[in-house]
Amino acid sequence: MYYGEIKKVDIANGPGVRVSLFVSGCTHHCVDCFNAETWNPRFGQEFTEKTKEEILEALAPEHIAGLTVLGGEPFEPDNQRVLLPLLREVRERFPEKSIWVYSGYLFDKEIQSTLPAGTVLPPDKAVEALLPGEGVNVLIVESGRERAEVWYRCGTPSPRAAGAQKPEAQGEDAPAEAAEQARARRRAMLHRAIDQAGDDLMSLSPEKVVIRLGAPYRSAHCEVTEDLLSLIDVLVDGKFIFMEKDLSLQFRGSRNQRLIDVPASLAAGKVLLRQ
């Protein structure tokens, strides 16, 4: 792994005075990225044992609140493998200091996901995997030698496309009903996309049709991801989106990005934001 810079006094990327490591290598290529030179995985200097000791020494003063890792993209798998020993030692030496990480990958859909882009899923599983998000996705509908591609923009389907929908659920059963409504919206979106693939494919029995999910979601999960997540206090996730840019936000650049309480989220099995 290479890195572009180590800031030993940083007050912009997390609470308090922090040490920040800017790693190199990023495949997101966000428009108007503030650190585009770090897209190159070999930008800057190679991360060595000496670099690790420099960071640990910089973290030692009492007034330093913690370590922030950003870039670049810390959750590129090659970077994860180098960062894991660093974060382990930071946690062991400075258990009272916080660890923040910034990633363009989405915590629940890409970092925790073990399904890489291109995974073949049957229709019922594809419905669950079809999640709203910015960007353009592609469905490849296959059956035997038949094949058709459908491009569509991710997002919640309109009531007209999804059919008549119930009003938002309220009361004790609201979470379960809301989840079912979300599944119904995804199912309607999937069926609409398959419809576009052609009547010839729709005439086949559903169990013979599989869905290949492509962009925008792609897994950042590797063999060290779960260990790495266990060491992080806060993850700021999501790509920087220029049209969502908001200079009034604290510790993030665009409104789509989330400040996730990682220990609480892992314990609850769902995304919980930092309070």
Interval 132-143: pLDDT, tens: 443 334 445 544
Same domain assignment for residues 177 and 192: yes
Same domain assignment for residues 167 and 258: no
pLDDT tens by residue, 64-76: 999 999 999 999 9
For residue 264, give the CATH number of its domain.
Answer: 3.20.20.70
Same domain assignment for residues 60 and 145: no
Same domain assignment for residues 10 and 56: yes
If one counts the domains in the chain, the total is 2
Same domain assignment for residues 12 and 37: yes
Q: Are 165 and 155 in contact (CB under 8 A)?
A: no
What pLDDT is recorded for position 3?
A: 97
- Res. 37: pLDDT tops 60: yes
- Res. 153: pLDDT tops 50: no
- Interatomic CA distance for residues 8 and 88, integer angstroms: 19
Same domain assignment for residues 100 and 120: no
Which residue range is the domain that position 156 belongs to?
Answer: 116-213
Average pLDDT of the segment spanning 171-198: 63
What is the pLDDT confidence band of residue 155, given thresholds at 50, 70 and 90?
very low
Average pLDDT of the segment spanning 146-160: 41
Task: For residue 274, tell me if it sits in a domain.
Answer: no
pLDDT tens by residue, 208-259: 344 444 444 567 888 999 999 999 999 999 999 998 999 999 999 999 999 9
Last residue of a domain, one of 213, 231, 247: 213
Same domain assignment for residues 100 and 6: yes
**Cβ of 33: how many Cβ atoms within 10 Å?**
17
Count CA atoms closer than 13 A to 131's CA, side-chain side: 12
Average pLDDT of the segment spanning 33-47: 94
What is the pLDDT confidence band of residue 80, given thresholds at 50, 70 and 90?
very high
Residue from 17, 20, 125 nearest 70 by CA: 20
Report the range of poorest mean pLDDT among 37-51, 89-103, 113-127, 220-234.
113-127
- Res. 117: pLDDT tops 80: no
What pLDDT is recorded for position 195?
A: 55
Average pLDDT of the segment spanning 70-98: 97
- Interatomic CA distance for residues 7 and 259, integer angstroms: 21
What pLDDT is recorded for position 177?
A: 80
Task: For residue 41, tell me if it sits in a domain.
Answer: yes
What pLDDT is recorded for position 211?
A: 46
Same domain assignment for residues 12 and 102: yes
- Res. 130: pLDDT tops 50: no
Mean pLDDT of the chain: 77
Same domain assignment for residues 144 and 58: no
